[in-house]
């Protein structure tokens, strides 16, 4: 470093000594600015800290008027210091006063200084403050000087993040920006309110040792860790079992590309050579990357932040020799999991008694992690951008699964309001529980059957708790998705038998494997599919790989011995496909009968109506099947060509719009004409207003999540079916009707005191 008597390594060594001194944080910061000024041969060194209100406060200075400390403040974007904070980039000027952003603060006495070098104090991409050196001369700062100041700023970032610094002149005013309350909005995945503390599913490595003892050894550690991470990514891609880790092949390909990026590697090596440990170098470079990308408006660039975060996390965990997932046994009470993404198996690994909620950066209301969260009765919010980087482990956090809201580090008033909301919800749930044994019948005497959607054994106690008539949809694929290997036929039979035993005399409808698309089994080779929702999935896999479907059907037939067994097939697009599936069941029954096995007393075979082509074969499919079930999640996304996992289009259609209701009316009318029972088991059956519309269309069997049975039953008990049927009939009879019936149905409910 030009003109520096000790250079960056000496500076870092002295910094380490000061950090170890038993003095207050403010005294330590005062000594640090003196040290930096001397080391960089600068007349001035100042540290500005970002407060929770977004202003920068002068916290320590050598060279400026010391009386200005804790009095001088500026907004982000104001002056040169504010410019550095807003852009999160270094700024070096030979004549600061000629820069258009220069802002003169008379109390500091800085008018005599021309040379200016400032760097942002960053942590995880968040700007915590600004570190500045100034000279009287019009000085040009060298690259190595800028690098040294950035390295020093990283040490200050950890000191600021610790929360030790307080402004004596204004207690509490200098609450650090990292600790400020945040309100985030995402997608509502599972109802409920959860208050607790953050647990990161993939905990970040907190780098404690920042300053290197042996640079050559640190470079070697970095190179070794990079080589190991590259090898592990290559192995995952070659092995083809990436779904086990919640990773898709194309994501890993992108991460592998970044792992070989020479610019990224060069910056980390340079950071080590400036005096940092390998871990600190990785964190320093990734924090710079985050700060830069978070300020981009290009959605593609912002999306790449996930890939860079993933790579940096892998590298840090490799350097410290830690697992990349949270230790399950270390889970505290009142834990709220925060993760970029999770699979159902990972969630089930945690101790349910300690979990109070789940926050995800990815995942929509119909994803399997959302289905499992609802089965667990766990409030969940998805689609919260950058969630894992906005929190620190142990932070207070509140989630509202119904509203899709997340409150991070909430104030006392917000916490009290949500605690009251949680108490009100608990009282409402108690009211629903009192309705458990009340038959779901409308006021004008129409009986409605309310069933459960389930997929795991832990769902079955909800039958008795809710008073459900049975299980209208048992998702058999969840057993496959949470297993480490393909469940054997005996294991499948044991599960199906346990489900039937738990249900007692109530009916259970088993849906055969609905895998493929976004539901890739961890132990199966992933198939490249440009449009997985419309690709090789569900019954298509079963018919193309009959061994898989035959094994499941045989397990179901054995488990249902002596009982009435109900099986339905998903993603059926033509009557011919259903006939082929029926033929397979018939052959399996014949095989078991020939070998002396006890068969079910009755086998009813049904079909999921979720592919729009069946709307044009309704009479034929109703005659061929013993029962029908409407899978509205897929039917609506296919009907409107709107991917339900795509946040840009998922809410562009309304299931209460005229086109959707006409399609649903066609199904119920043709089922009635063929005297076939029909159930709605999609998400719309779980919402009271939509359930009211379904009753108006003529549906008498609804299947839903356990938490929805109470609210839907409460709606039914206050409803007269005939008037709402008339409303829907008249609205759909209008040939010009194209919009949504939601406002009309909402007004009807309000007029008649129906809780929705």
Write out the DSSP string of 90-114. Answer: -EEES-GGGSTT----GGGT-TT--
The residue among 478 and 691 whose pLDDT is bigger is 691
Task: Please give the full DSSP string across 379-447, using - where no structure is assigned.
Answer: -EEE--TTHHHH--TT-EEEEETTTTEEEES--HHHHHHHHHHHHHHHHHHHHHHHTTTS--B-TTS-B
Residues 6 or more apart whose Cβ sits within 8 Å of residue 24? 164
The Cα 178–Cα 287 span in angstroms is: 14
Provide the mean pLDDT of the chain.
Answer: 85
Tell me the mean pLDDT in the region 692-718. Answer: 94
Are both 107 and 191 inside the same structural domain? no
The residue among 211 and 592 whose pLDDT is bigger is 592
Q: 449-494, pLDDT tens digit by residue?
A: 999 998 888 788 888 889 999 999 999 988 887 676 788 999 999 9
Tell me the mean pLDDT in the region 372-378. Answer: 81
Measured between its terminal Cα atoms, the distance across the chain in Å is: 70
Q: Are 514 and 571 in contact (CB under 8 A)?
A: yes
Q: 263-290, pLDDT tens digit by residue?
A: 888 889 888 888 888 998 998 888 888 7
Q: What percent of the chain has pLDDT over 70?
A: 88
Among 405, 426, 447, give the residue marking a domain's end.
Answer: 426
Confidence of residue 642 (pLDDT cuts 50, 70, 90): confident
Q: What percent of the chain has pLDDT over 90?
A: 43
Are both 553 and 474 inside the same structural domain? yes
pLDDT > 70? residue 2: no
Task: For 686, list phi and psi in degrees, rounded to 5.
Answer: -85, -10
pLDDT number for residue 607: 97
Q: 95-112, pLDDT tens digit by residue?
A: 998 898 888 777 777 678
Active-site entry in 201, 306, 368, 462: 368
Are both 473 and 535 inside the same structural domain? yes
The Cα 730–Cα 725 span in angstroms is: 9
By DSSP bridging, strand 602-609 and strand 627-630 are: parallel
Specify if 325 maps to a domain: no
Specify if 727 maps to a domain: yes
The closest of 674, 529, 682 to 610, measured between CA atoms, is: 682
Tell me the mean pLDDT in the region 235-245. Answer: 54
The residue among 234 and 28 whose pLDDT is bigger is 28
User: In terms of residue numbers, what domain contains 305?
Assistant: 215-320
Are both 306 and 221 inside the same structural domain? yes
Q: 726-756, pLDDT tens digit by residue?
A: 999 999 988 677 789 999 999 999 999 999 8
Are both 379 and 454 inside the same structural domain? no
Specify if 326 maps to a domain: no
The Cα 153–Cα 123 span in angstroms is: 10
Output the pTM of the full model: 0.66
The residue among 529 and 19 whose pLDDT is bigger is 19
The closest of 318, 341, 325, 340 to 230, measured between CA atoms, is: 318
Confidence of residue 297 (pLDDT cuts 50, 70, 90): low
Are both 595 and 485 inside the same structural domain? yes
Tell me the mean pLDDT in the region 364-388. Answer: 80
Confidence of residue 152 (pLDDT cuts 50, 70, 90): confident
pLDDT number for residue 480: 81
Q: Are 352 and 631 in contact (CB under 8 A)?
A: no
Are both 219 and 171 inside the same structural domain? no
Q: Are 399 and 406 in contact (CB under 8 A)?
A: yes
pLDDT > 60? residue 241: no
pLDDT > 80? residue 530: no
pLDDT > 60? residue 325: no
pLDDT number for residue 252: 67
Confidence of residue 521 (pLDDT cuts 50, 70, 90): low
Look up residue 534 and give its two tokens: 């419309």
Specify if 62 maps to a domain: yes
pLDDT number for residue 501: 93
Confidence of residue 249 (pLDDT cuts 50, 70, 90): low
Q: 108-140, pLDDT tens digit by residue?
A: 776 788 899 999 998 877 888 999 999 999 989
Confidence of residue 258 (pLDDT cuts 50, 70, 90): confident
Q: 484-498, pLDDT tens digit by residue?
A: 678 899 999 999 999
The Cα 478–Cα 469 span in angstroms is: 22
Q: Are 560 and 552 in contact (CB under 8 A)?
A: no
Look up residue 587 and give its two tokens: 């052959």
Specify if 574 maps to a domain: yes
Q: 53-70, pLDDT tens digit by residue?
A: 788 999 999 999 888 888
Specify if 655 maps to a domain: yes
Active-site entry in 45, 201, 306, 681: 681
Pick the most confident of 198-207, 621-630, 738-747.
621-630
pLDDT > 50? residue 247: no
Are both 546 and 655 inside the same structural domain? yes
List, in sequence order, every residue forming a beta bridge with 199; answer none if it has no partner.
Answer: 337
pLDDT number for residue 245: 40
pLDDT > 80? residue 686: yes
DSSP three-state, residue 193 = strand
Tell me the mean pLDDT in the region 659-687. Answer: 95
Tell me the mean pLDDT in the region 325-332. Answer: 63
Can you give 314-378 as a three-state secondary structure string?
A: HHHHHHHCCCCCCCHHHCCCCEEEEECCCCHHHHHCCCHHHEEEEEECCCCCCCHHHHHHHHHCC
Confidence of residue 157 (pLDDT cuts 50, 70, 90): confident
> Which strand (E) or helix (H) includes residue 157?
helix 143-161
Tell me the mean pLDDT in the region 149-175. Answer: 68
Are both 187 and 222 inside the same structural domain? no
- Is residue 681 annotated as part of the catalytic site, yes or no? yes
pLDDT number for residue 106: 79
pLDDT > 90? residue 261: no
pLDDT number for residue 519: 62
The Cα 502–Cα 454 span in angstroms is: 12
Are both 555 and 684 inside the same structural domain? yes
Task: Classify burial at 162, counting beta carbons within 10 Å of its beta carbon; exposed 0-12, middle 13-18, buried 19 or more.
Answer: exposed
Helix axes 143-161, 278-294, angle to 10 degrees: 90
pLDDT number for residue 724: 97
Are both 646 and 723 inside the same structural domain? yes
CATH number (domain holding residue 271): 1.10.274.10
pLDDT number for residue 370: 80
Look up residue 609 and give its two tokens: 């109506």
CA-CA distances (angstroms) from residue 340 to 198, 363, 382, 717? 13, 9, 9, 41
pLDDT > 90? residue 721: yes
The residue among 528 and 308 whose pLDDT is bigger is 308
CATH number (domain holding residue 188): 3.50.30.10
Specify if 1 maps to a domain: no
CATH number (domain holding residue 714): 3.20.20.60
Are both 268 and 392 inside the same structural domain? no
Number of domains in the chain: 4
Lowest mean pLDDT among 112-116, 249-253, 611-615, 713-717: 249-253
pLDDT > 60? residue 529: yes
The residue among 609 and 247 whose pLDDT is bigger is 609
The Cα 700–Cα 698 span in angstroms is: 6
Among 293, 320, 347, give the residue marking a domain's end.
Answer: 320
Task: Classify burial at 193, counting beta carbons within 10 Å of its beta carbon; exposed 0-12, middle 13-18, buried 19 or more.
Answer: buried
pLDDT > 50? residue 320: yes
Region class of 401: left (phi > 0), else alpha (psi between -120 and 50), else beta = alpha
The residue among 532 and 515 whose pLDDT is bigger is 515
Lowest mean pLDDT among 146-155, 199-208, 421-430, 466-475: 199-208
pLDDT > 70? residue 243: no
Q: Are 93 and 115 in contact (CB under 8 A)?
A: yes
- Is residue 184 annotated as part of the catalytic site, yes or no? no
Q: Which residue has the tokens 């000061």?
A: 18
Among 426, 461, 495, give the residue marking a domain's end.
Answer: 426
The closest of 152, 146, 127, 134 to 76, measured between CA atoms, is: 127
Tell me the mean pLDDT in the region 332-343. Answer: 85
pLDDT number for residue 8: 66
Residues 6 or more apart whose Cβ sits within 8 Å of residue 750? none
Q: 29-54, pLDDT tens digit by residue?
A: 999 999 999 988 899 999 999 887 78
Q: Are 631 and 681 in contact (CB under 8 A)?
A: yes
DSSP type of residue 51: B
The Cα 527–Cα 231 span in angstroms is: 23
Specify if 562 maps to a domain: yes
């Amino acid at each position: 470093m030009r003109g520096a008597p000790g250079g960056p390594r000496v500076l870092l060594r002295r910094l380490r000594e000061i950090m170890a001194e038993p003095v207050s944080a403010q005294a330590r910061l005062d000594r640090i600015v003196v040290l930096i000024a001397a080391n960089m041969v600068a007349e001035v060194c100042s540290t500005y800290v970002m407060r929770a209100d977004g202003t920068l406060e002068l916290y320590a200075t050598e060279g400026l008027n010391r009386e200005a400390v804790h009095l001088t403040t500026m907004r982000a974007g104001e002056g040169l210091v504010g410019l550095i904070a807003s852009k999160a980039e270094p700024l070096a000027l030979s004549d600061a006063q000629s820069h258009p952003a220069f802002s003169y603060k008379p109390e500091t006495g800085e008018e005599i200084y021309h040379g200016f070098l400032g760097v942002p104090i960053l942590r995880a991409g968040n700007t915590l403050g600004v570190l500045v050196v100034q000279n009287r001369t019009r000085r040009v700062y060298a690259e190595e000087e800028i690098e040294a100041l950035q390295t020093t700023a990283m040490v200050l970032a950890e000191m600021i993040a610790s929360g030790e610094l307080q402004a004596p002149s204004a207690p509490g005013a200098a609450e650090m920006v990292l600790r400020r309350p945040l309100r985030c909005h995402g997608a509502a995945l599972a109802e409920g309110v959860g208050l607790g503390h953050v647990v990161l599913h993939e905990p970040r490595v907190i780098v404690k040792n920042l300053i290197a003892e042996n640079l050559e050894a640190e470079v070697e550690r970095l190179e070794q860790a990079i080589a190991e991470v590259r090898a592990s990514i290559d192995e995952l891609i070659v092995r083809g079992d990436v779904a086990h880790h919640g990773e898709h092949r194309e994501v890993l390909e992108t991460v592998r590309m970044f792992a070989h990026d020479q610019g990224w590697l060069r910056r980390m090596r340079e950071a080590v050579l400036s005096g940092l440990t390998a871990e600190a170098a990785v964190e320093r470079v990734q924090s710079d990357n985050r700060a830069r990308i978070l300020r981009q408006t290009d959605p593609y660039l912002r999306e790449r932040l996930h890939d860079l975060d993933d790579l940096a996390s892998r590298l840090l965990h490799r350097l410290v020799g830690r697992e990349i997932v949270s230790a399950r046994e270390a889970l505290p009470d009142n834990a709220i999991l925060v993760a970029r993404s999770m699979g159902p198996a990972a969630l089930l690994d945690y101790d349910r008694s300690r979990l109070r909620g789940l926050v995800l950066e990815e995942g929509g209301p119909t994803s399997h992690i959302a289905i499992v969260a609802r089965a667990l009765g766990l409030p969940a919010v998805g689609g919260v951008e950058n969630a894992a980087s906005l929190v620190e482990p142990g932070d207070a956090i509140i989630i509202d699964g119904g509203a899709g809201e997340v409150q991070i580090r909430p104030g006392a008033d917000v916490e009290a309001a949500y605690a009251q909301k949680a108490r009100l919800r608990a009282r409402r749930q108690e009211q629903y529980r009192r309705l458990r044994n009340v038959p779901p019948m409308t006021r004008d005497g129409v009986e409605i059957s309310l069933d459960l959607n389930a997929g795991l054994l832990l769902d079955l106690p909800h039958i008795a708790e809710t008073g459900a008539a049975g299980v209208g949809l048992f998702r058999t694929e969840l057993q496959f998705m949470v297993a480490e290997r393909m469940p054997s036929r005996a294991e499948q039979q044991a599960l199906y038998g346990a489900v039937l035993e738990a249900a007692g005399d109530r009916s259970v409808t088993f849906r055969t494997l609905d895998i493929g698309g976004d539901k890739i089994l961890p132990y199966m080779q992933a198939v490249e599919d440009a449009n997985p929702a419309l690709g090789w999935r569900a019954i298509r896999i079963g018919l193309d790989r009959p061994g898989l479907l035959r094994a499941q059907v045989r397990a179901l037939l054995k488990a249902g011995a002596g009982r009435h067994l109900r099986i339905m097939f998903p993603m059926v697009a033509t009557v011919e496909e259903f006939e082929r599936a029926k033929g397979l069941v018939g052959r399996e029954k014949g095989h078991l009968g020939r070998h002396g096995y006890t068969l079910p007393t009755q086998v009813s075979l049904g079909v999921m109506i979720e592919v729009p082509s069946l709307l044009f074969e309704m009479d034929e499919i109703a005659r061929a099947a013993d029962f029908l079930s409407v899978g509205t999640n897929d039917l609506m996304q296919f009907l409107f060509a709107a991917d339900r996992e795509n946040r840009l289009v998922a809410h562009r259609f309304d299931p209460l719009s005229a086109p959707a209701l006409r399609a649903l009316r066609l199904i119920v009318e043709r089922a009635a004409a063929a005297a076939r029972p029909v159930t709605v088991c999609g998400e719309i059956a779980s919402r009271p207003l939509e359930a009211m519309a379904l009753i108006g269309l003529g549906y008498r069997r609804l299947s839903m999540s356990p938490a929805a049975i109470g609210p839907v039953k409460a709606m039914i008990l206050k409803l007269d079916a005939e008037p709402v049927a008339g409303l829907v009939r008249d609205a759909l009879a209008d040939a010009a009707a194209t919009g949504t019936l939601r406002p009309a149905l909402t007004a009807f409910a309000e007029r008649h005191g129906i809780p929705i």
